[in-house]
Amino acid sequence: MSDLKTVRVEIFGHVQGVWFRGWTMKEATAFGLDGWVRNRADGHVEAVFHGPAATVDAMLAACRHGPPAARVTDVAIESWHELPAPGFHQRPSY
């Protein structure tokens, strides 16, 4: 299981009010990842992705573009040590 990877990301730019959370749910579920996504009060989107390293990396690459109405300016990525619950979930805004 050494090829598993867990990351926490913050996505910056015009990412709220453009269906970013719903898009993330759809994409992460299609990739078979575990984790969660939520809007933050500061206007960013925050997510945790867990799964095979190559799949997590593909999801991170997708997040750099997001859904069509989004304008992503940056994606901050950090290694994360808390394993999320199985499946992919939308958390309440924070």
**For residue range 6-27, what is the model confidence (pLDDT) as tens digits?**
999 999 999 999 999 999 999 9
State the Cα–Cα distance between residues 53 and 27, nearest whole angstrom. Answer: 16
- Which residues are known catalytic residues? 21, 39
Q: Is the pLDDT of residue 2 over 60?
A: yes
Q: What is the pLDDT of residues 58-79, one digit of tens each?
A: 999 999 999 999 999 999 999 9
What is the percent of the chain where pLDDT is above 90? 97
The pLDDT score that the predictor gives to residue 61 is 98
Q: Read off φ and ψ for residue 69, nearest 5 degrees.
A: -80, -10
Number of residues in the chain? 94
Its sign, for the CA torsion 49, 52, 53, 58, is: negative
Extract the tokens encoding 47: 């997510």
